Structure 1
C-alpha cells in the first residue's frame, strides 16, 4: 500500500467537485470506435467498442470496463482511450449486458458477471492473436475486474490490470449512498438502471410483474426486486456477499494497480482493504483527495489534468515494455 504522487487541483479539492468535474462536466477527447457484436454460448450477445488506432497487428489491447451505467461515451472512458492511443495501446470498451440496448435473455449485467469479461477477453485473443492484453475497470467495472482476476488466478489471460475507485464491499457502499449528499449520486445512478429495466420491459425480456418502481429508491431495494431475482441471487444481501471483490483480492496473480481516494463520496474509508487482504501482485495506491473516478489536477480550471490518464498508461507501459508517451 503506497501513497500516490497525485495532488488535487487547488480549485478542485472537494471530493464532490472532483467527482462531478471528471464524470459530468468534462468535455471528453474525440476518439473513433467501431462496435463489434459477440454471440455468447448462452444465446445472448455482448457489444464491444474497439478503437481504430493504433492499427498495428501487434499493438497491445486494453479492455475497459466502465462504472455503473457507463460505456464508450463516458468522459473518463474516452479520456483513457485517448491516453492509451498516445502510447500505442488499442482500446476495447465493454458494453454491459442489457445496458446500451436490451439483451435477449432476462438476465442483466451486474457487479459480479465475470463470465462476460472472460468472453470478451477470449474474443480479443482471437481477433488480435499477436497482441498482449491488459484491462482497466472503474467503480463497478473495477469490482468486476478484480473478482475476475481473483477467480482466474494465474490464468487471467491478461498481462496487467488496473482498477479505480472500487466498491470493495458492495453492502457497505450501498448503505453509505443512502445518506447526505451521497443520495444525489444514488438517485442519478438508479435512474439509469430503471431506464434499462423499462427498456427490457418494452422489449418483453423483463419477466418481473407488479413492481412499484416509485418505491425502488435505494440500491438495496432495486437489487432486491430486480437484480437479484433476474440473476439467481436470494435478495440483495446474498448478491452483495457473493459478488463483492474483497474476498478475491488475495488470489490475484496478475500485476494489478488499484487507485483509490480516501475521500471517495461513494463509500466509506472502512471498505479500503488492508495490506493483509492483498496479494503480492497488487499495488494499492491511496490519496487523501480524488473523489470517485476523479483525480483532477492542474492549476487552472481551464486546463485540468486527469491524473489517471497519466498513471494508468505508465503502469501498463512498464509491464508491456512499450513507450509510455508520457
Structure 2
C-alpha cells in the first residue's frame, strides 16, 4: 500500500498510509487573498490530526475536522485547551508535550475496541478503550521543538521575501527568544486591525485582519503552546519526520531514532537553535539538521508558499542548492493539492 502526501500550503498536509488518513496541521480555510485547495467543511475522512502548535496558520480547522470525522487530535496542551473550548469531545483529545510514543490504529480497530470485539490495551477505569498495541498499523514519536524567530529587532525589518541564503549574525536583542513571538502575536500581529486604519492596509493585510477576527478566532492562540515535531514510523525503511518550524534542540535532533527517510522541514524565518537565534542562514541550519538526522533520502520544504503578510514568500533555492551540495539528501518539490508517493517502491 502506497504512502501518499498532499500539501495544502504552509505546513498543512494530508498523509494516507497503512489504511489511515492523517492531517498534519489543518489550515485549510485561509485569508481571502490566498488560494484554498480543500474545503475544511467537506473533509469527511480523517483518523488522526497532529498539530505542530496553536498559532493562527496551523490550528484553525482542527475543531471542525475532528467534530465532523471523529478524528483523534494529538497536540500540545494549549491547542488541546482551545479545541476543548471549541467543542471537540474529550475522548478525541490527546495532549502531548514531547517524549511520547503513540500507536496509531485504523478506525475499524478503534470501533471494534469500543464495542469490545478485539483485545484492548490496559488502562485506568473510565478511560476510552484503546486497541491492543499489537493491532497498531503505525506509530509516532513526539519530540519537543522550537518555533523560528524573526530577523531583525522589529516587524519593520522583516523582508518582503525571505531569502534562505541570507546569513543573520548577531543583531538580535540580548534576550531574543520565542517570548518575542508570543508577545508580538498577542499585542502586535493579531491586533493590527486596532493599530492601523483599514484604508492604510493592502489587500493581503485586510484579508488577514478579517480572517483572524472572523472564522479563525475561536480556534487559535497567540501562544504556540510549545512547538512539537513528529516522527512517524510507517514501516520498514518508511519513517517520515515533520517539523513545522525552523527551530529545534540539537541534543534531541542528534539522538532521534529511527532516523527519518523523509523529512518535511519548515524553511522560513531566522532559525532558532536551543532557544537562541542561530548565527547563519536558514539554508545552513537546514543542512545542520539534515546531518544530525543522518541525511534523510528526501527533504520536503514547507512554510515557504505565499502569505498575506510579510514575508510574502520565501526563496528556497539557496536552501535546496546547499542541501544537495553538502549532503546526500535530495529535495523534492510538491505541487499544491496533488497526491505524491512519499517512499520509493
Q: Output the TM-score relative to the length of structure 1.
A: 0.32
Which structure carries more helix by proportion? Answer: 1
* CA radius of gyration, larger in: 2
Task: Select the structure that is richer in strand.
Answer: 2
Q: Return the structure number with greater relative CO, CA threshold 8 A, min gap 6.
A: 1
